[in-house]
A and B are shown apart, each in its own frame.
Chain A
Amino acid sequence: MIYFYDGSREAFLTAFVLAFRDPGAVLTSGSAQLAVGQETCFVQTDANRAKKAEQRLISFDKNCMHDLNTILKSGDANRDMVAFNYLHLVAEKGMPVRSMLAEQAVIAADECMRRVKLEIHRMHGFVRFMESASGALYAPISPDNDIAEDLLPHFRARLKNFPFVIHDVGRGKAAVYDGEHTFTAPLKEAEVVLSADEGAWQSLWRKYYESVNIPSRERLRQMRAYMPVRYRKFMPEFN
């Protein structure tokens, strides 16, 4: 049976309970190819069941909900099944499975989580803020995974005195620090009036970028491996 759910953690856990004993279960929060005659189920979130499933899973592995959160942030189309198979194994074994690195379900979950974490780490470096006329900072991003919220603690710690907005343009949401609190909010489009000096600083940065390169040692493949082209969209040094 195919189980459609809305992508939230609670709905996932409800679906997890419903699908647990179904050997042909397919969980998805996106679209799925339906074969002729395939049964479908649209999962209604059941807070009670979700809570129970969560408590049970935590009794086997107190950190597995953290893993689930990470996997559900992934932009991978397969994330729902990766999470399902991983937690299924936790329930089967009745203990943490993250070190069972020869198990297919663990390998897939590990890979999925590593990609999310790698992107968070990369974005710590690749986010580019622009200074607005009010002094607040604004950075558009379009990451593979849903990680805008995960960038907040890092930038809040270092930019205490600067309110900022990190705008996931693709998902239409913003991670905001207002100088005191952090929160996320839906944001379709943003209009930002830049400060008078912003253009000059960007231009100075481009000059630096150009000057620090050693042209006789061109290594474009290496550069691409470290910084895939899709991340360059909002960086002044490439625009």
Chain B
Amino acid sequence: MISEEKLRILTESAKYDVSCSSSGSKRANEGGTGNGYAAGCCHSFTPDGRCISLLKILLSNDCIFSCKYCMSRADADVPRVTATPDEICELVMDFYKRNYIEGLFLSSAVVKSPDYAMEQLLCTVKKLRTEHGFFGYIHVKGIPHADEGLVRETALYADRMSFNIELPSEKSLKLLAPQKSKESLLVPMQKLQRDRTVFKEEKRKGHFLPAGQTTQMIVGASPEPDGLILRLTQSLYRKTGLKRVYYSSYVPLVHNSLLPDVPAGERREHRLYQADWLLRFYGFSAEEIVEDDGNLSLELDPKCNWALRNLQYFPVEVNRAPLEMLLRVPGIGARSAYKIAEARRYATLTFEDLKKMRVVLKRARHFITADGQFMGERRETAIRGLLAAGETAEEARQLSMFSDLETARSALTGEL
């Protein structure tokens, strides 16, 4: 059994990675323990409001790289520990059968060399799958500059892999993570994506990253504007076929003249996620949301902002507007849009009906008519004032975004 102290160190060095999802894989239990759960499953929640789904842990924090922002960088004075693949396997199996976790999220510092670190990761997941008969979810972090063959073999055992882009521009990467290059991150992602497509097309036996790839970037450690971050995100979705891009607002753990001493606002991170949802589920493009060199408004959410810039499209009649347009109405999320589209087949909907159906009208009323009736403001400045005032009054609520059941659920499904 791994010691509590080792577990603590390896967990604390892994916890700033934000990816937590266990969704997207339907791997079946072929006679052992565990299976995939396509919708994903949260097993616990910590006081910081984040969920515990996977056992998020490093195999080692003993790093030869010196990324300026990282607490495990080579020149940092921290205790170094390395777990054995067997220790990790045992931990996963015993946590999993008690239903503490949905699977493993395994990462590692670059211990000894990129190839050695990757080899250790591969060895661990291979053992889990073959010796322990584990069929639960496994997410493995790719090590930049590691051998291509090792990366590809790991993909045969993992449900998901991710290479972290870390910083949104090459310049910042050079400055803050000098041993990582843009190519060492993007090329393996593209190769994996190609291999995954071939694997699927040829209908080969077994699995190759059934839950795809994700990545993560740190926001606020370097000067890139939101416009650039979102354009990069969009190209990762469209060209590299990533499932998700995570943003991690910068927390100063390290003092360095190249890094800001203040944490990036969590509001900014929140706005980026809202914009990310608009890209993935609401049919928006990055260009519509924010100009290339601009930042998202902290005051209003990106959908409201877009609508206020495009008032010529509004108000729309909820009984006739196509679903794509309903999705663009501020305050109407995917669930509400779907409910409206269903209900209006049987009856003409009024504001009274919308209220009964729990469609939130606080923002939407300025942008819709229901059975010809309009209940909002028409002037942009007036709407802006009302909406912004509403946001400040609800500051606390906004910051802990999901304070009631309804919003908590919508956060799970990603409505906005």
Interface residues of A (CB under 8 A from B): 99-104, 107, 118, 121, 124-131, 137, 139, 155, 157-162, 197, 200-201, 203-205, 207-223, 225-227, 235, 237
Contacts and interface: CB of A to CB of B under 8 A. Distances in A.
Given A100-B346, A201-B1, 5 more contacts: A124-B37, A160-B29, A162-B33, A217-B48, A218-B47
Contacts of A235: 44
Contacts of A118: 409
Contact of B44 (A103, A204, A217, A237): A237
Contacts of B358: 107
Interface of B: 1-2, 4, 7-8, 11-12, 14-16, 29, 31-35, 37, 39, 41-53, 55-56, 91, 94-95, 97-100, 102, 135-136, 251, 266, 339, 342-343, 345-347, 349, 353, 356-358, 400-405, 407-409
Contact of A214 (B15, B99, B339, B408): B15
A223 B349 contact: no
Nearest to A225: B408
Contacts of A161: 32-33
9 contacts: A99-B343, A99-B345, A101-B357, A124-B41, A125-B99, A129-B99, A204-B91, A214-B48, A225-B403
A107 B356 contact: yes
Contacts, number: 166
Contacts of A210: 8
A222 B400 contact: yes
Contacts of B408: 225-226
A102 B12 contact: no
A130 B98 contact: yes
A217 B401 CA distance: 13
B55 A160 contact: no
A102 B98 contact: no
Nearest to A227: B45
Contacts of B266: 217
Given A100-B346, A101-B357, A225-B404, A215 B33 contact: no
A138 to B, nearest CB: 10
A202 B175 CA distance: 43
B49 A99 contact: no
Most buried by B among A129, A159, A226: A226
Nearest to A206: B4
Nearest to B339: A101
Given A102-B346, A207-B4, A160 B46 contact: no
A62 to B, nearest CB: 19
Contact of B2 (A130, A204, A219, A225): A204
Contacts of A159: 33, 97
Contacts of A212: 11-12, 14-15, 46, 52, 56
Contact of B47 (A160, A205, A220): A220
Nearest to B266: A217
B29 A222 contact: no
A19 B45 CA distance: 46
A211 B47 contact: no
A205 B35 CA distance: 21
A162 B94 CA distance: 12
Most buried by B among A124, A131, A212, A214: A212
Contacts of B49: 217, 219-223, 226
Contacts of A160: 29, 31-33
Contacts of B402: 222, 225-226
A101 B343 CA distance: 5
Contacts of B39: 121
Nearest to A216: B251
A125 B42 contact: yes
Nearest to B43: A125
Nearest to B20: A212
